[in-house]
Structure 1
């Protein structure tokens, strides 16, 4: 079948596309920034189109000639995500109903307990599902609780809390029951939803074979990971908001995502029935038990084989203001250039491996302190790391940066996602110094567009440290390239 996937650059969308291809479907992947899909291993097997779920014209173009619509978009990282998700779902639902050839919509939502005041996160997921079910196009809504898989926000929150805190004080919701599901089982249901009978227009709860409390999940994770037994003391005074502040400090999941996720844990999220099996059979080898799902996720992390991560999904940004006179001349830059005897290819290797375990090549203490300040302010901090220690991909998260542009082996541009009174970019490039390629030139440009007086004051306050931070980075990157070339 001809399938169009909205959210192909996201955590689940990036994993669903190759599964659909392997099942024999033709796939069109929709992205606000198609460049983010340039380096995925399945790029040559799909049609990539530019589209935004809030733009009716681009949605209509994306749906043209398609039979199955997969909607895997969620704006959790934005404050107004409820309104934004409602508007986006209505746009896609209306376009699908008017497209003519669309036979099926498939949406992944969340299990929402009945008769309770739902969290904004669960209420929004339920509302989006209802919008699609009311579209007039046969729809399959698959509702899941916590998804266990390498790179998912829920799994990362669980992993970091358990690994970093041998003892912890927790809120009462750690005793609430949850039915986690392995990401590979979610993908199984999603793929087979494309071919269910055309008369099916229904929401289904999906879950793994185990019903656990969050406390059980942490303790069982510790066993699988080979950690000592965790000491957990539940107390009644920790609200979801306070819990999210702690998650924000201890895990890579920023407060903006942690709050709605934790607010949802206040509810017991257990599948009400197994009606889905009347239309989609379970995987041939059965549903994945919780401990095995943890083992699979940890194996991928150890092997650096994490194809998608929650942090790789980002909001679109305005282009880099490259003109110094842009916006009335209120763009600050710090430009450093150094010539080095290192080969351009060796210099590029160092540039592309920046961040994560390799660090930022200047004043580590300053970077760490700035990272902690950012975490306390609800930002990304330095804990997102990087997916692969050597190779980057357009659109992926890199500590508190986002890879905005990658022109291998010449230029890397990063967009800051730290909490700032303005917008910032860091651009690193390597070019041959002479026509025959002997030696190379390293160029580094930091760009800051201030927002209001606070932005101007921020730049001026850190200007005295630029030589240590930016100058040190340029010196150390070129020095590392030279050292590695000599060592080789």
Structure 2
């Protein structure tokens, strides 16, 4: 099974069964006995992509309006939805998609489109409002932004507020849920916190770093959105939603540092750092695109805390209560317990919860990962390549730069690590769990793939994968090194090792292929 298939299968399994809370929010039947139909705008966005499978599990029939059906195809629930191809800026496309719809989720936000995002969102929202009124829709649900009253709002929050007002003025029962910073892997606001904290041991920040913010876990946002479809039509209003913790932005960063196993960061609030300069700084340090980072940074100029808890009288809280900030960070990091460490880089990228990655998330979302990939075609067959792979390490060596491997082993021993001295149990056979010098066999598919997890002292988590695929007339040998850095030291470590990787990994490919073609297993086996 290849990486992509494993990802999709595991994700489909994770999303196929509703949780107990979601089961309680199953769709009520329509008067004619049919399942209620939902129209989703923004299904490939961060929230939409996580809400759709929960609506399906809740018994709703889901229709999507999208400009590109191809973006839906990779998602595990694609075959279970009705796809209407069209642009939400086109009134005719929106009107057609509204036919027979009971509930509309308006989750389109155009930040990524650039400085014109407010006008674009206004046009789309007016189309949705008119189409819903014309189509006799029973409920509009919109996820807006938590904001204070009586102050000049940022462009981003002013646009969110305007969209909510347009929908509330449509004459269709509308529930506007106003949320602050959403905590989950893939959320742009969370990715800013993640990367700023991991990269910077000390952070110069604008004064807004002292503002109070009420973050909310993505699973709680989904709870409210799913329950909103069942709210009585007599209710049409905007309500605030938030998690149980009210924190300063600096406290959010240091809370992330604790959960990620990093030292707490020094943060200096500088009055001279304007939102524009701060957004440029965020764009330089994090992978979040500047066109998204700047509106988000501007939105942090004012405190964003719930004004009241009116939502509790409309939608009950989740049965287990709202998720605290640090618990939400643990979920976003793939850690159920504080001290639990991921044991597989494959598992670390598989989605099991709302806070985990989806294929539709942007490229810049998720934790930082460095890879070194190499391939080489060979006239030798897989049955000749695999024995060379399976004898790696121990007395057989690592097929390249023995002095560099020895130096790395000595360095590891000096740092209190295992070094290269433990070798391997058998020169010819490997099994899951076996030690191989500074590595541990994490997975093995005989004749196909060997995955080793590093047990050396490194500022992060590392894996080395070696494999062979059959090809006409021979085979293709491939190897992949994967490294999840921890903090700035992890990134610097990878950069420092790049010249050595060029020597070591290139040499490994050449020697393994040459030994397979010549029939040699290793020098010690001659």
TM > 0.5 fold call: yes
Question: Structure 1 residues 486 and 72, CA, compared in 2 at 3 Å: closer, same or farther?
Answer: farther
Residue of structure 2 in register with 1:270 after alignment: 305
In 1, distance between residues paired with 2:213 and 2:515? 53
1:77 CA displacement: 1.4
**Is 2:362 aligned against 1:311?**
yes
Q: Could you tell me whether the CA contact under 8 Å between 2:287 and 2:364 is conserved in 1?
A: no
Residue of structure 2 in register with 1:46 after alignment: 81
1:343-380 per-position Cα deviation (integer Å, ceiling 9, x unaligned) = 9x9xxxxxxxxxxxxxxxxxxxxxxxxxxxxxxxxxxx
Q: Could you tell me whether the CA contact under 8 Å between 1:208 and 1:290 is conserved in 2?
A: yes
Question: Structure 1 residues 342 and 17, CA, compared in 2 at 3 Å: closer, same or farther?
Answer: farther
Residue from 322, 335, 352 that aligns with 1:287: 322
Question: Structure 1 residues 312 and 22, CA, compared in 2 at 3 Å: closer, same or farther?
Answer: farther
Residue of structure 2 in register with 1:34 after alignment: 69
Question: Structure 1 residues 310 and 245, CA, compared in 2 at 3 Å: closer, same or farther?
Answer: farther
Residue of structure 1 in register with 2:125 after alignment: 89
Residue of structure 2 in register with 1:256 after alignment: 291
SS at match of 1:5: strand
Residue of structure 2 in register with 1:221 after alignment: 256
Q: Note the 1:447-486 alignment, pairs <5 A.
A: none
Q: Could you tell me whether the CA contact under 8 Å between 2:378 and 2:513 is conserved in 1?
A: no
* Larger CA Rg, structure 1 vs 2: 2
1:307 CA displacement: 3.5
1:340 CA displacement: 5.9
Q: Could you tell me whether the CA contact under 8 Å between 1:11 and 1:312 is conserved in 2?
A: no
**Is 2:84 aligned against 1:10?**
no
Residue of structure 2 in register with 1:212 after alignment: 247
Q: Could you tell me whether the CA contact under 8 Å between 1:179 and 1:269 is conserved in 2?
A: yes
In 1, distance between residues paired with 2:236 and 2:149? 20
1:422-473 per-position Cα deviation (integer Å, ceiling 9, x unaligned) = xxxxxxxxxxxxxx955799xxxxxxxxxxxxxxxxxxxxxxxxxxxxxxxx
**Is 2:116 aligned against 1:80?**
yes
In 2, distance between residues paired with 1:292 and 1:114? 30
1:88-119 per-position Cα deviation (integer Å, ceiling 9, x unaligned) = 1001111111012x100000000121000000
1:253 CA displacement: 0.5
- More moved, 68-77 vs 224-233: 224-233
**Is 2:226 aligned against 1:191?**
yes
TM-score, with normalisation over the residues of structure 2? 0.60
Question: Structure 1 residues 29 and 312, CA, compared in 2 at 3 Å: closer, same or farther?
Answer: farther
Q: Could you tell me whether the CA contact under 8 Å between 1:9 and 1:313 is conserved in 2?
A: no
Unaligned runs of 5+ in 1: 315-338, 346-435, 442-475
Q: Could you tell me whether the CA contact under 8 Å between 2:212 and 2:305 is conserved in 1?
A: yes
1:485 CA displacement: 13
Q: Could you tell me whether the CA contact under 8 Å between 1:15 and 1:307 is conserved in 2?
A: no
1:30 CA displacement: 2.0
SS at match of 1:158: helix
Residue of structure 2 in register with 1:400 after alignment: none
Question: Structure 1 residues 211 and 485, CA, compared in 2 at 3 Å: closer, same or farther?
Answer: farther
SS at match of 2:111: coil
Question: Structure 1 residues 243 and 313, CA, compared in 2 at 3 Å: closer, same or farther?
Answer: closer
Unaligned runs of 5+ in 2: 1-35, 336-340, 343-347, 351-355, 366-375, 383-470, 477-505, 518-526
1:22-43 per-position Cα deviation (integer Å, ceiling 9, x unaligned) = 1221111221101111121111
In 2, distance between residues paired with 1:208 and 1:249? 30
Residue of structure 1 in register with 2:181 after alignment: 146
In 2, distance between residues paired with 1:268 and 1:30? 35
Query: How many residues get paired?
Result: 340
